[in-house]
Structure 1
């Protein structure tokens, strides 16, 4: 269908909270929630009777939202209508814009696309009056998506074109990329191959531009680290200046002490003269002896005093010389550290550029070796591949191929069996990034060899893959424990039969609103082997009605996010698949990407590679082509 519909993100986050069974509009409301609805309705009616129309509209809106979250679409629209009528009376256009948008989303979810277009048009009209270009663009996307569901491709093309123009005007790179993607889809549907290719090239260009912006952010982080290093150098220089100021202050203190001591010396001499004169008057002889003693003591005192002054001066000189030597040493160290930091920063940037260039080249090689989503859709028209590596290259990989009937084979063959088959797999190798990518290339190469050598049974292929991984990595004689978790499917009988074998990874089937999980074996492909011989279990499933099938790695399940920063978990994935399994596979891929992005938010980093593949069998409108 269409790309991201902004308001559907709220529906995906808040709805569908059951664990296994599918949820539909019209189910019974739990008693606790019904009490909450009744309380809000009572408050709404009370405020309305008292003339508090704004408060009454707010409580009607709360009631509508509770019905919406609990999958009571018609009740939600009825109470949104009540809230809208009150907001019309008080002229609250902001609330009306949001209410009409929500009503359009609910109608789209109930597949009442004509009604949805009417509500979206009302919200669009208000957004245009308020000159809210971003909201206008989003409403145009919603309208175009509903028109596309009604096969009104020309009208949808006009809506998406107008939305694209606004996205370009707003310079919203993400919205620009999305609108180019849906324009390419619509042009393809209209049979305009050249125009579709042009839009797809623009979509790819903006995708690359967004990736470059992310690299620019990394360069900014490197620059900030350089600034921090320079700040540390400035702190050392400031410390040097403070040391010089302390030395100057010590010198001043020494000079002041010297002057004070000289004054003391003069005062002492005057007092001594007075004592000598008095002593001469009393006893001349004793005065002479005392005078001699005083002279002797005075000489000794002067000598001691001068030695003390000389010692202080010498101490100050030595301290200043040590300080100067320390400052000179610190200057040398500062210069050396500054030069080393500059060289290290330059080396880091060069290494980062070289590593990034090498990994980007490895990404191109990996993408060239893996089959494309378009190739999958030539066999199963209703299918998609959602692959989001944590780093540039991925340790998760997808692979699919038609069967090859070989005469020279080591596999057990059924006489006269030339039935065409289609292999499809999703695998999670040990590690991620470059190490995981190496393992993924080993896995792809081994699967190609095994299937070209005549392997056609899912369990036999996994058995041989396990033996080949252990042989290639010499795990039978070393401590290497690398391997992969994998879900492997074989489609035959023109899509009426699917065979499955799994190494820890399951297969999810959804038909008639019921979800079924077929678990894989609890052991991986490759790694340690305690049992004498590892044999994987074969599951055979007959497809007698349209059935949505999903295989995936654990990257989505283990991703942290949400308001409480918790794992996404298998329960949330099941709820998500139940809520979207009836949509076209192309739109399901968009919904999955939007949900994961909203779950991670702006602050949660991606922890692992993410892979999810979906395909629909038993659909007479889009039959499987195994010929």
Structure 2
């Protein structure tokens, strides 16, 4: 397999792994068993924290709960519990616990693609590992940082961390870590667009893996320089090419010998072949003619079958068209009949409505004629009442007021004659009563005059 093909295979595998991770990132509900564990660990955490004041043991149960949520892709819940655990570990200055939790928080934030926070947590982890000179922890933190930086497209920083990790792995003679660094460097340079460096580190990764598989680790540890690794790879490939060329050469020599042998045999049979060939020519011609005739007859039969099939299909198509047209005509006829029926129904309903309207018009005409008679009767009654009222007003004005005026004149004459005190009082009382009566008649006349004008107005309005 060529280097480019192998490179494509590795990157395709990485792509599949990333796709699987994204596909499995969906949150899953806790099972009954896990839910029971969460409840149990919550109780243990509270017991150790409140009753025993054992913060370290309490944080262990918090970490267990966070890990359960992490396994079910419930990242926010896991982050929440890890943060509580980190705060408690800071109180007791448990640096190892804090570093482990920060590392987990960095991975969780990377899972939810919050790479900035992931970078911060991994940097805290790296600082804690540096302070205690834990080389394995430093390598792990720096590889995690390179993954985050690749997602942030900060490739130069990522390469710096990977080079530092590679140097640490070389110093420790850790084969697995060295392979991881070579693979990550190849991937990072490929993302940065430096194909040459990517292939360079990938070849180192490939050679290192092959040599490790052949149990040459001791040899690698003695001299693990990159140049010698490449040289060993080239020597191995040249050796394979030479072996393949030798095998190919042997195959060609064997084929040549076999060819010469067959040529000798063919030359001995050549004369016999010619004589047989002449006889065979005529037979082959006859057979060919018979074959052609058979083929022609088969073609004719196939053509007839094809024509019959086409004819049947045409008849079938015609039948389908006829059925379709018939159905269409039936549907159109149905809608026409339906339309006529509706039109007829509408005409009957309209005729009934017209009859009802005519009856209502007749009733209105009768009501109008009756109303006119009522108006005339009322007008006549009002006229009679008006006449009576006029007579009353006339009577009031002339007949009733005349005695009142006479009494008033007599009272005035009597008031000029000397009379005793008692008669004087009677005359005053009579004059006062006469005045009151005169006032009452005046008021009554005004009311009657207003009523008369009102009746006349109504009478003119009704006319």
TM score, norm. by length of structure 1: 0.31
Larger radius of gyration: 2
Higher relative contact order (CA 8 A, sep 6+): 1
TM score, norm. by length of structure 2: 0.41
The structure richer in strand per residue is 1
